[in-house]
A and B are shown apart, each in its own frame.
Chain A
């Protein structure tokens, strides 16, 4: 699937939107200057492993697509492996243009915040 199609599909029909069927162990949030985009990442964790990740997002379609992609990558990973994910992976997977990279930074900032909240 071309990156443009995948981005659109993830925006129109995201698989990892936040739901109430689970208890989440960690929540992290981030926003952009001017609050033009906001992202929350939710993690359900058992035995040092991400059972499921979900997001809530406000912003342009690329923000939703990035959040959905990230949550898909997180599911089933250990926390240690999860820390190895990089923005470069996201940029490559969704072919982010320079002016869209803020969206990748935003969702990773939200993930880092969730991890920090988990540790505390």
Chain B
């Protein structure tokens, strides 16, 4: 069994969530939009889930739009706002998730203008840079709360204040922060918030977009008029219920879980820092700047794909991720790390460890030992000019 340290990609579904979803699925499977009694019961299950999700972000349940995940929520937010306004300008950041960057590229091909702000060496964007980028026809600023590769936390409250001052909608991708960091849409001046269930113990295939009332949004899926005509299609009641259950559980653990994850991540970094030349791409020294569950490192002199394969296929196997898919043929490396100023070679030699509620101290120690051993093996294989780190 692999040591699972890839919770930022997907977290195992919590047993309580599985039990709750099983109970919902075993009930009469009515359509929550139906007026009959079974339909109303299904509707009540959905409403309870909405209340749980909304409570975790300081919002009202009726403003939750269920989606298939964060990617769909991001698509709905960006395409929906821009279509509602008939085009315009968007401000975002070069280190965003592909769900945002690819959606923005799609919009660009249809005439929308996009400004992609750079980040500093830590991966942060400054609120003043956002303010300077806003133009007269800027319809939306889109920024992720926690970067999925490095765990860097953006100052959403400050950026939100800028957006509110300029009357520009702020969309935040919170796929990595829900259940791990405080989220309050009012305090942070957020107008649209994209959420995912499977990063925090809920099921895959469930997500949500929270939309502030009176923000204009054009639907992107049509047919049936469900969810107030904002996203048609019969709701996946069990998935939605599972998401709600995961949010309820997360809320009860918010006081303890971040500190537990942060302590484990610090331990992991201490164990890995002894590797010659290792670079930390996550802000581990400042609890305000870094999410508690992500540690991203680069190991000069070791190829990222080789390190990843060695860890995935060796014994004991680790389940971790490269910062981004690396391809020698396409000479690609992490766009996030390159935006932070890392060289392509260093960006390509990155590894992301992401921790979850089930991660143990033993997992951390085994993973660190395996990583040290694999780095030593690959460095011994490498040509001599690469074997000694710069």
Contacts and interface: CB of A to CB of B under 8 A. Distances in A.
A76 interface: no
Given A32-B328, A99-B327, A57 B309 contact: no
A56 B348 CA distance: 19
B14 to A, nearest CB: 34
Interface in A21-71: 29, 32-40, 56-61, 63-64
B385 to A, nearest CB: 8
B306 A59 contact: yes
Contacts of A3: none
Nearest to A14: B381
A18 B380 CA distance: 9
A14 B381 CA distance: 9
Interface residues of B, number: 23
Contact of B381 (A17, A32, A102, A103): A17
Q: Report the 4 A-B pairs with minimum CB-CB distance, sorted nearest first.
A: A60-B305, A58-B382, A56-B383, A99-B329
Interface of A: 8, 11-12, 14, 17-18, 29, 32-40, 56-61, 63-64, 99-100, 102-103
17 contacts: A8-B313, A11-B310, A14-B381, A17-B380, A17-B381, A29-B383, A33-B331, A36-B331, A36-B345, A37-B328, A56-B383, A58-B306, A60-B305, A60-B309, A60-B326, A61-B305, A99-B329
Given A17-B381, A18-B381, A61-B310, 10 more contacts: A8-B313, A11-B306, A32-B328, A56-B383, A60-B303, A60-B305, A60-B326, A61-B306, A64-B381, A100-B329
A43 B100 CA distance: 51
A100 B327 CA distance: 10
A34 B326 CA distance: 13
Contacts of B302: 58
Nearest to A33: B331
B314 interface: yes
B384 A56 contact: yes
A12 B329 contact: no
Contacts of A38: 382-383, 386
A48 B383 CA distance: 26
A116 B384 CA distance: 21
Interface string B177-210: 0000000000000000000000000000000000
Contacts of B309: 8, 11, 60-61
B15 interface: no
Contacts of A39: 383
B228 interface: no
| Chain A CB within 10 A, most for which of B302, B310, B326, B328 | B328
Contact of B303 (A12, A59, A100): A59
Contacts of B316: none
Interface in B144-195: none
B303 A58 contact: yes
A102 B313 contact: no
